[in-house]
Structure 1
Amino acid sequence: MKKVYLLIISLLTFVIDVSGQSTTYDPRMDLPKVTPPSPNAATLGKYGDIPVGLYSGIPNVSIPLYDVKLGNFSLPIGISYHSQGLKVEEKSGNIGLSWALNAGGVVTRTVKGLPDENGMGYWGHSTWTNQYISSALNISESFCNGTYDAQPDIFYFNFGEYSGKFVIDATTGHIAHIIPDQPSIKVKEIDSLNSFQITDDKGIKYIFDVKETTTDDNAPPTILSYTSAWYLSKIVTPAGNITFTYASDQTYYYQYNESDHLNNSSSTDASKFNPGLKVSNNYITVDSRILTAITTPNEAIQFYTVADRKDMPAAKRINEFVVKDYNGVVKKKIVFNQSYFGNSNTSSPEDCRLKLDQAIEFSADSTLSKTYTFGYNSPASVPSVTSLSQDYWGYFNGKTNTSLLPYMDPRIYGSYVANQATVYGNRDPDISYAQVGCLSQITYPTGGTTQFTYEGNDYSSVNGTPVNEQLQTQKQAQATATKTSTVNIPSVTQTFTINSAQTILITTQGSYSGAPPVDNGPSVYINLVNSDGSRTNILTRNMINSTLSSTQQLSVGNYEIIASVDGATQTATGTVQYYSADGYIHTKSAGGIRIKQVLSTDPVTTHTLLKQYSYKSATDATLSSGALVSAINLVSSKISNTWGYQWTVRSAGTSNYLGTTQGCFIGYGAVTEKDGNLDQGKKVSYFTTAADYANTYGTDSLIINQNEVTASNNSSYINKYLNDYDAYRGFLTKEQFYNSSNQLIKEIDIQYNLTAALTPTSTNYFAMNSKAGLFIDMCHVGCTQCYCISPELCSYCNTYSYELLYVFDSQIICPWIYKTQTSETQYDQNGLNPLTTITNYYYENPLHGQVTRTELTNSRGGIVKTINKYAQDKSLISNLSTTASLAVDSMVRKNMVSTVLESEQYTGGTFNSRLRTNYRIWDANGIIVSPENIQFQTQLSTGLENRVQFTNYDNIGNLLEDAKAGGPTTAYQWGYKGQYPVAKVTNALASDIFYDSFEEGDGTSALNISKTGHYSYSGGTAYSKNISGLVYTGNYVLSYWLKPTNGTWTFVSNIVAVPGSTYTIGPIAGQIDDVRFYPSNAQMTTYTYDPLVGVTSSTDAKNEITYYEYDSFQRLINIKDKNGNIIKHMDYHYQGQ
């Protein structure tokens, strides 16, 4: 689901929480938990619960491997698997086929025509209108043949939890639209596509400036190379930057196409000028980038690559990554074991593909490991990427094709055209082959497994039109008459019935021996048998030693075919091939796969969890709920404007715009999920699809030259550019829950605003040859612009008229879609006594697109209303201080637009409470914008009252001081490069505390010669520390641990007087550790850590130390008291080990 809906859900959660609270307390008024929680035993992990993307039918396989953390920001690293079936021409990524390493992000683009920045591209011609193009025929021809381009490229972004697409305005050079509109994030193009900057709704900036270049050897020279991707290089957070480093890599992918022209007439000239069969084997090279490192101030993740790929010799594979802390100490290692699909012993790169077999997590010392093992369907049977065993969508279908051109049915195209198409391929989908090479099983570190069973896709509508094809059974009627010296059957009649108008195929054969017949010879007749018994002749064919095939259009009726011979030694045979209409087909098969069931097994108990999925229509179980976005069209028509000859053109690839929905060809409108083990009921989910929001065609304007004044109806042209409505599809609209008795016990209805748009849609233009369709054959005055088949014919170009041209405009659909209502109805176990709760959502400021108001109506009619205000609602927030006002302005500039600044709650129209968080700019550079206080107002109070105060932050945004109203101030000290809190002191200011555990480079002892942590101070000079800026004037506590030579650690604590603002600790002779300094009326707790692991010790206000030990997997194993005695021990074993 889109980002905005995740925010809605989180806000809804808040509303529900608040509704249950009293009007005098809100949990958000508690002091934040700055100190680390006490370490607890690590979990062994939950395996086997694989969610399924119900709309697409594709399982969401994701394995988290590590989290990069910097301040409050977290960047997950993991691998994910996504496959819709085996695409024959698909190459493997850098860890394995259909697997992706999720670590960072990328902006990619799909070039429409020419790259936008090309001199002849969209940026140079976007403002041309159809009227202008109409007035300049040579300009329109340039659009037809691809010299000019007025279509914007589509850019896609994917990073973290954000994804979407956008286009760039040619006039301003700025982002014109994000699709679908996401008001809370900002995308900025920098320096003519040199880089991109995307800012999320928390103000975090993502910089994309590491470029990838694609080279198309078959493209015109003007677009030979272009930037096709921009990789994430930096994430800018208040706590510091995360940087990404890449190395050069070279990948390629393969594209095959073929087409031929079939003459529509027997003209000799038509055959002479026929372009014939054209075959394209295209390798597109990508100068790509491969991730080598992620670096933060606190850690570094190094990715290691190997340049030994058999399937792509110039490319690298990632075989492991290693996590190190800022001291270079290894904390974790992930290894990818890989082999190959197909023929792994081949010397041909096209015959194999990289396969991920295992992902193994090793402990820091490599003594422990966790292994994920992946199994696949028939991995050795994966074909070559050059195989022609492809269905219409490009998925493997196992057919032994020698061509991808379609079969030409003579009943549709006529026998003359069909007889030329002697070579063709079987492009029907076949699930048994489409699932070859697809993930079939995951074996987890526990020994448990998840198994995947797939089935083929199907659909009952195409771009909004229901499938309604006649179910036809092929039949044959044949009559043979023979007269020889021994056989005398001079006439044979065979009857047949046509129950739907159609074109039939007629094949006739006649033969004789001896002298040519003096009579009619062998003959075949086809007659319509009228209701009164009379006959109407449809066809008469007299034959002399010949075989003829033809087609004939027949209407509904009863017919007879008669074979007749006159004279001796003659034979006549007539055969009619026709179809009998036996009903209608409303569901058809499509390419690719979907999940049928997921079976998870516990290795010890052998208990299984079976999830089964059905994609049938909720209203008609005989129908699929699948909606195909676009039809496949492999046949088109072409007319040579030079001579007027007509051809039927076959192509291996679809000639129309093949739309997708969320990256798939099909989306499902209703999906039923069942628990196959215990029959505990089912859940039915409903989604919007292409059946609800079909793509539409752009409008057009006819360009008419001086010689042509009419045109046929252009609604049949196959290459009209589509207005893509995919932004509206895939939204969950309803969930129904049934018990084991099939009684409806709960229903959730969700409504959306599917019409709102923040900005008007964009329009782009392009021209096409109305007679040629996709296959342009422009030819006009001047041989330099003539595309005739033979150069010597160019002299004739001047004598022939131009083709009709159309200029099409299409719209870039950019809706702002948001949820407006959720209605939840609960029933009893008999499906009776409904109780309904309705929540309405309002979005009254499109600048940020957040929920500004919710109204929850319970089953008794009671209404709870919550009003939320954000930075861009500043004018609605009363009595802001100057400091808070400036901070709100800064939040808007930084795009911190999803933070709720003020929340009001009403019950039945009566005010309950108001909660406000006031922010402040805490540093001179304006980087740290964080809360200054939290205020609260109830029905009983006259205004907002301070409840929590935040009085200080450090330069990376760590909280240094906070206090509840009327309570003592709590101060915090941060260490390990600001990564962890190392001291918490109650009843003190941050300026009045000091703690040093000698863990951050100032420790001089040998490793683990310390009281806490790993290091202590044992320098040749006495330890001293000057502390300035003290506010509290009175007595302080100075404590530390002292270890004399060959002695034991002894605790030392003194009360020292500090009459001024400075104090110098020491000099202290000897080896010391854990120096603590704080006001005598305060209480201090301190901590040490293993970076990236956890807290290793905590010392409370009584100076009692608790120690924590971890295994090499960073799992807690021992908790020890101050004397080193184990008070709690943890062992980690999977059941049965």
Structure 2
Amino acid sequence: MVRLYSVRALLGVILGYCSLLPIASAQQAVSPAPYIWENKLIPPSPEAGALSKVDLNPTVSATGKAPFSIPLYTLAAGGIQVPVQLVYTGGNGIRVNETASNVGLGWVLDAGGVISVTVHGKPDLYNDSYRGHRSFHPALSKYPASSSGYLWCDGANPSSPVNAEHNYAEMVNEGLLDSQPDEFNLKMPGAQTAFALDSTGACYAIPHSNIRIFLKRTAADDPYFEAVDASGNHFIFDQRERTSTISRLNGSTVRPTNGGPYISGFYLSKIINPYGEEILLTYESVFYRQELGTDLEVFHFNSCLDNGSTKSITDAYTVRQQSFTAPRLTSIQAKTGRLDVIYDAQQRLDNPGTNRIAGLTVTTAAGQAVKNFVFAHSYFKTARYAVTDTATQHLYARLKLLSVQENTLPPHVFSYDTLLAVPSRLSFAQDHFGYYNGRDGNQNLIGDLSYDLHADREPDSLACRFALLRSIRYPTGGQQRITYEAPHQLTTSIKRTTYADATLNAGMDTTTQTTMVLGHTRKRSISWILPNTSTGCRSTVAIVQLPLTSTSFQFHASGTSDTTSLVMPKGTYRVTVNNRACQQDGAFISVRYDTLITSQVRLPLYGVRCKKLGFYDSNNRLVKTVSFRFKGTQANQVQPYRRQMYTTKSSPYGDVSCDWSVYMGSQVYTLGFPEAPVYYQQIEQYQDTAQTQGKTVYTYENGRDDVYKPMPGLVPTSYAWLRGQLTDVDHYVQQGGVYSPVKKTQYVYALLHDPEDFWDFQLAPKARHDLNIVGVYIRTVKNLKSLGGCNEYDYGFYKLPSVVRYLSKEIETRYASTDTFQTTKRFYVTNFEHLQPSITTQVFSPQDSASTHITYPSDLDLSSSSPDGQMAALLKLRSKGILTAPVEEIQYRQNKVVKAARFDYSAAAVPVRQKEYAARLAAPSSNFRPARISNGLFTADPSYQPDFSYDLHDRLGNPLQITASADRSNAYLWDEIEEHLLMVARNAQFSQVAATSFESTNSGRWRYDQSAGGSRRPGGRTGRWAYLLTTSSVISSEQLPADDYELSFWVQGSGIPQLQVTGGTQLAGGPNRIATAPGDWQQYRTRLHFTSVGQVSLGATGTGPSLLVDELRLHPVGAQMTTYTHEPLVGLTSQTGPDGRTSYYEYDALGRLLRVRDEQGRILSQQEYQYATQP
């Protein structure tokens, strides 16, 4: 075979550049390379890709990756929470070409959100390339029939029926259509999903989700995305990351056809709740570059039809580089406070142009410092780092996170595996999934063994563990240590072994004999060699079973050489070789048998998994171990080496067709394959402490990806969302050395289409929630267009299925020594907009069940042009994206209604709950009529009677007054910044109460000086603040209706505030001192009688001293008021009950509740924290 190499390549599988040279004639000195498939896949940036790896699963996942996270802080506003945490994503191993984030290798700062983009073909958002996408295709013609997946034409004018399909392939090949949808991965607080764009630009979640995603445009026509969750919160992703890609092909710089600049990521910049509350994320722009690695494609020439002479073609190497103009997070701001990200002033050694995160600061809305985090780093460095020139040193170092310290607390300290060599980021020493395998002698990534210079791509269970996290020491002094192991798969090995029962030779003119004992009846192979009879020899062989009888086994042969197989009974045999009267050597006989030995062989797989977690206290004593056993190991069906070699045709010599074998070696990230190479169907988790031993068994779904035709680098139809979902959780406790079951929970899911049934192309979309967006790969197989004909194309396709999947059943079984009890919950989802269970049924026994039916706004017909008030409110809820507000809840028992409630909403700009109704049923009813809308009118069962009314709300929708059907009202006060409850007063209307501890911006229906530098003073009785009463700084209540009231307050010192009552009088004898407390605090109480609308004021006397007052409370006589104080960004600090007694809550430096005291400072309860798994 003559070796030929290409002068151009699209090398590797993504980012390839195809330099189309003119067709050469047979007389030319150098022939062009064959036309080959060009995959245009571009990965997201390191930061965006790292954020997309964050796993929301809090337990060891189905990939064997243990979750390690360090919660730092959570910002909140309007019911929205943005957790800020450090997450370790390297639990399955670090890939050779992985770039460290600005936190460190294997770590990511999970704060905010991102939509990362993996480009397939042309960037979808460039000139609206998504318009070439198809959710259905005509059946593609296949020719020839024996080689499916080819598009061809006959001459210059292709005839029907292949014309449309061939023209489609032509347009894709010429870059006029984009046939490959890009992959978008959304990560935002509390949610993750993938999605793709159809030909109209609509976003389809994969699988279908109640998170609605919209592609939008700015006034300058720049694209951005907006996501809306089921609660109506809007997430704006408009901070764009732009990427450009260039390639150096054999030293010459070229730019791929999809090289950019294109948008590779959209970062979250704003979260808006339905009431207009916002959380803002700000960014600054940075620019940096990174090498993506070297790909190689080699062409072996096989043959041409005329067997003409061939010309040498040089190897083609492609080195790819990406440059990023990327936003990096600088702050997150809510009304409650602000988090700032501090970057180091010096550029990183491993990624020039970027800076490591040096720290985080958290401040309150008033600018008060709450938390300060300091990050310490160093670098993992290879042996070549010190001897490498400064221009390439960054390839031999990776950022390492050493510790994170909060304020003056002891730090979180991280240690890593330092015994294993750290490879260069561009090293070829990679297994098939890109993990380090220590084969530093590899010169490329071609793993096909038939290639002369092939690389060793087999996994190495030790080398792949480089730089892995080994332990975390917590601020408490406790430590968590991680032990890893290499995944493996047990396979059955069958080995054939031959055993000889007898072997006998006879020389010239001799006879030899032996006795053979066979212990088993079995088929045996008898082979013999005897001298040729033409020489006059009459040699014979014989096998006779002893003792010799008429039924004994006998075998005789003469004058031949042969082998036969016969079943020989067990027993004793005489074997004879007779070579008498023969002057030749070589008479021979053998009796043997073969046996198959079956054994279990451990087949090494890729990456690592968590084997054991050890938890140690501050004295380094082991207090708990958690170990894991993995079953049902499954490697990904579609692995990168599946298409390392393929064949192609070309016509480099005029119209002469030639065959080539193409060998491919590509960086793994260019292939677009799943992040995790191995999944497990079952994980056993063993927990051992000094007191208990337990076991939990997790069973997961483990669906495989599918591929229509294994083309080079063809991305599979991914069902990753099916993998890793829990199907069973079994809990055991060890008793007497045996694990006994305690509880079992089973989860059953409904999939509203079976991917196997929908594999063929859809002729039309099935439904809005059930859509297969199809990606088609086109590869030129034969180029005849320049010769006046037309090209022949190979094609393959994959799907992006947006289908509904939900939990349909949950079965819980509890085990006891004398009985087993089982309950079953069934969930029915009938509306694919909100995806909430419309019916939940709980089965207690075959004869006993209960179900709850819940109706949501989108379940009702809201199409009327003249809606009534309730329908208008439901329309408003739906338009605001509030999908999960219940309209009606009905409980059935034995198919009869036993309880029902419905909810009315206001039709305000932001709807709020207005009334609750309860069905007054004398007995379980079979005639109950569920709520419905007919001709724009909302109707419900006549048994409904008012239960509660929500009379007043604040601007955030929090209730201020709720009135029961018995005309008894409860009043509430809320902190509009922190959104904490400040006061609840039972048996009181909102207009009748006033309460303040002078902590919040909410004055609690009191009027006083709230200006900065005003009369508020530190050192309050119930919180941090009190109020200084002077003759000029008085406190007045809001207007109060006529009634009898009770007023109470605390005063520091011996003076008493002067009360002035308008519209009523103070009852004689007040205020009366009712309690004292440390710090010279006195508590007073008095009663007021209002005959008309009025108010009460407190001030200092003109001759007395200024007074410090706190915990000022006013409510009707007979009402029960409870008030609360909170420390900003910390938590509840005090609670004062209806009896006026206060409990105080104290926290340690880690923000954990430490103790509770009464108003005299006496300890009511105290928490003592031992080492926990994650402090």
**Which of 228, 246, 249 is matched with 2:264 structurally?**
228
Q: 1:125-145 CA distances to partner (integer Å, 9 max, x unpaired)?
A: 759966899459676345236
The Cα shift of 1:978 comes to: 5.8
Q: Which secondary structure state, in structure 1, belongs to the residue aligned with residue 859 of structure 2?
A: helix
In the alignment, what sits opposite 2:872?
886
**Which of 379, 384, 389 is matched with 1:340 structurally?**
379
**Which of 908, 911, 930 is matched with 2:913 structurally?**
930
Call closer, same or farther: CA 1:861–1:1101 in 2, change over 3 Å: closer
In the alignment, what sits opposite 1:111?
119
**Which of 358, 366, 370 is matched with 1:327 structurally?**
366
In the alignment, what sits opposite 1:595?
610
The Cα shift of 1:266 comes to: 10
CA distance in 1, matches of 2:300, 2:636: 33
In the alignment, what sits opposite 2:1127?
1090
In the alignment, what sits opposite 2:131?
123
**Which of 793, 805, 812 is matched with 1:805 structurally?**
793
Q: Is the 8 A contact 2:1044 2:1087 kept in 1?
A: yes
Sequence identity percentage: 24
In the alignment, what sits opposite 1:429?
459
The Cα shift of 1:244 comes to: 0.8
Q: Is the 8 A contact 2:239 2:266 kept in 1?
A: yes
Call closer, same or farther: CA 1:656–1:989 in 2, change over 3 Å: closer
In the alignment, what sits opposite 1:95?
103
Q: Is the 8 A contact 2:744 2:813 kept in 1?
A: yes
In the alignment, what sits opposite 2:707?
696
CA RMSD of superposed structures (Å): 4.2
**Which of 178, 188, 191 is matched with 2:205 structurally?**
178
CA distance in 2, matches of 1:728, 1:1005: 61
CA distance in 2, matches of 1:834, 1:351: 60
In the alignment, what sits opposite 2:179?
150
2:776 aligned with 1:750: no
Q: Tell me the amino acid that sits aligned with residue 840 of structure 2.
A: T
Q: Is the 8 A contact 2:750 2:808 kept in 1?
A: yes
Call closer, same or farther: CA 1:909–1:759 in 2, change over 3 Å: closer
Q: Tell me the amino acid that sits aligned with residue 208 of structure 2.
A: D
Call closer, same or farther: CA 1:676–1:272 in 2, change over 3 Å: farther
Q: Is the 8 A contact 2:302 2:659 kept in 1?
A: yes
Q: Is the 8 A contact 2:304 2:659 kept in 1?
A: no
Q: Tell me the amino acid that sits aligned with residue 316 of structure 2.
A: K
CA distance in 2, matches of 1:1072, 1:1110: 26
In the alignment, what sits opposite 1:188?
214
**Which of 695, 699, 711 is matched with 1:686 structurally?**
699
In the alignment, what sits opposite 1:501?
none
Call closer, same or farther: CA 1:641–1:735 in 2, change over 3 Å: farther
Q: Which secondary structure state, in structure 2, belongs to the residue aligned with residue 350 of structure 1?
A: helix
The Cα shift of 1:1068 comes to: 4.9
Q: Tell me the amino acid that sits aligned with residue 849 of structure 1.
A: L
CA distance in 2, matches of 1:608, 1:1009: 43
In the alignment, what sits opposite 1:908?
894
Call closer, same or farther: CA 1:1042–1:835 in 2, change over 3 Å: closer
In the alignment, what sits opposite 2:3?
none
Call closer, same or farther: CA 1:51–1:725 in 2, change over 3 Å: closer
CA distance in 1, matches of 2:291, 2:636: 29
**Which of 277, 280, 284 is matched with 1:240 structurally?**
277
**Which of 207, 211, 215 is matched with 2:240 structurally?**
211
**Which of 848, 851, 854 is matched with 1:862 structurally?**
848
In the alignment, what sits opposite 2:533?
none
Q: Which secondary structure state, in structure 2, belongs to the residue aligned with residue 87 of structure 1?
A: coil
The Cα shift of 1:55 comes to: 1.5
Call closer, same or farther: CA 1:909–1:586 in 2, change over 3 Å: farther
In the alignment, what sits opposite 2:1018?
1008
Q: Is the 8 A contact 1:761 1:813 kept in 2?
A: yes
Q: Tell me the amino acid that sits aligned with residue 96 of structure 2.
A: V
Q: 1:1014-1061 CA distances to partner (integer Å, 9 max, x unpaired)?
A: 44444876234665554x224545555566899976666565554544
In the alignment, what sits opposite 1:819?
807
**Which of 705, 723, 726 is matched with 1:729 structurally?**
723
Call closer, same or farther: CA 1:811–1:1103 in 2, change over 3 Å: closer
In the alignment, what sits opposite 2:521?
none
Residues 522-921 of structure 1 mapped to structure 2, 5 A cutoff: 588-604=603-619, 606-617=621-632, 624-630=633-639, 632=641, 633-643=643-653, 644-653=657-666, 660=673, 663-675=675-687, 682-690=695-703, 693-697=704-708, 717-718=711-712, 722-735=716-729, 741=738, 748-756=745-753, 759-764=769-774, 766=776, 768-769=778-779, 771=781, 778=783, 780-781=785-786, 798=787, 802-806=790-794, 808=796, 810-825=798-813, 836-859=822-845, 861-874=847-860, 883-921=869-907
Q: Tell me the amino acid that sits aligned with residue 123 of structure 1.
A: R
The Cα shift of 1:946 comes to: 3.8
CA distance in 2, matches of 1:1101, 1:734: 48
CA distance in 2, matches of 1:1120, 1:716: 70
In the alignment, what sits opposite 1:404?
444
In the alignment, what sits opposite 1:19?
none
CA distance in 1, matches of 2:1055, 2:922: 68
In the alignment, what sits opposite 1:787?
none
The Cα shift of 1:242 comes to: 0.9
In the alignment, what sits opposite 2:403?
358
Q: Is the 8 A contact 2:1029 2:1109 kept in 1?
A: no
Q: 1:532-566 CA distances to partner (integer Å, 9 max, x unpaired)?
A: 8599xxxxxxxxxxxxxxxxxxxxxxxxxxxxxxx
Q: Tell me the amino acid that sits aligned with residue 728 of structure 1.
A: L
In structure 2, runs of 5+ residues without a counterpart are: 1-55, 141-159, 248-254, 498-558, 564-594, 754-766, 925-941, 1002-1009, 1057-1079
CA distance in 2, matches of 1:1011, 1:376: 49
Q: Which secondary structure state, in structure 2, belongs to the residue aligned with residue 849 of structure 1?
A: coil
CA distance in 2, matches of 1:836, 1:1118: 40
Q: Is the 8 A contact 2:986 2:1120 kept in 1?
A: yes
Q: Tell me the amino acid that sits aligned with residue 375 of structure 1.
A: S
Q: 1:907-959 CA distances to partner (integer Å, 9 max, x unpaired)?
A: 333332223344335xx5x2252353353545549823444443211111222
CA distance in 2, matches of 1:769, 1:1010: 76
Q: Is the 8 A contact 1:871 1:901 kept in 2?
A: yes
Q: Tell me the amino acid that sits aligned with residue 821 of structure 1.
A: K
The Cα shift of 1:361 comes to: 2.2
More displaced, 938-947 or 751-760? 938-947
Q: Which secondary structure state, in structure 1, belongs to the residue aligned with residue 97 of structure 2?
A: coil
Call closer, same or farther: CA 1:276–1:826 in 2, change over 3 Å: farther
Q: Is the 8 A contact 2:242 2:262 kept in 1?
A: yes
In the alignment, what sits opposite 2:17?
none
Q: Tell me the amino acid that sits aligned with residue 592 of structure 1.
A: G
CA distance in 2, matches of 1:1080, 1:858: 48
Q: Which secondary structure state, in structure 2, belongs to the residue aligned with residue 892 of structure 1?
A: helix
Q: Is the 8 A contact 2:1029 2:1100 kept in 1?
A: no
In the alignment, what sits opposite 2:989?
989
In the alignment, what sits opposite 1:960?
960
Q: Which secondary structure state, in structure 1, belongs to the residue aligned with residue 98 of structure 2?
A: coil
The Cα shift of 1:1128 comes to: 5.2
Q: Which secondary structure state, in structure 2, belongs to the residue aligned with residue 328 of structure 1?
A: coil
Call closer, same or farther: CA 1:120–1:1054 in 2, change over 3 Å: closer
Q: 1:840-886 CA distances to partner (integer Å, 9 max, x unpaired)?
A: 3212223322112233333454222222222223469xxxx965443
Q: Is the 8 A contact 2:993 2:1115 kept in 1?
A: yes
Q: Is the 8 A contact 2:481 2:615 kept in 1?
A: yes
Query: TM-score normalised to the size of structure 1?
Result: 0.72
Query: TM-score normalised to the size of structure 2?
Result: 0.69
Q: Which secondary structure state, in structure 1, belongs to the residue aligned with residue 897 of structure 2?
A: strand
The Cα shift of 1:432 comes to: 0.3
Call closer, same or farther: CA 1:104–1:1107 in 2, change over 3 Å: same
In the alignment, what sits opposite 1:791?
none
2:60 aligned with 1:53: yes
CA distance in 2, matches of 1:974, 1:105: 29
The Cα shift of 1:1084 comes to: 4.1
Q: Tell me the amino acid that sits aligned with residue 478 of structure 2.
A: G
Structure number with bigger Rg:
2
Call closer, same or farther: CA 1:673–1:1116 in 2, change over 3 Å: closer
Q: Which secondary structure state, in structure 2, belongs to the residue aligned with residue 771 of structure 1?
A: strand
In the alignment, what sits opposite 2:19?
none
Q: Is the 8 A contact 2:130 2:198 kept in 1?
A: no
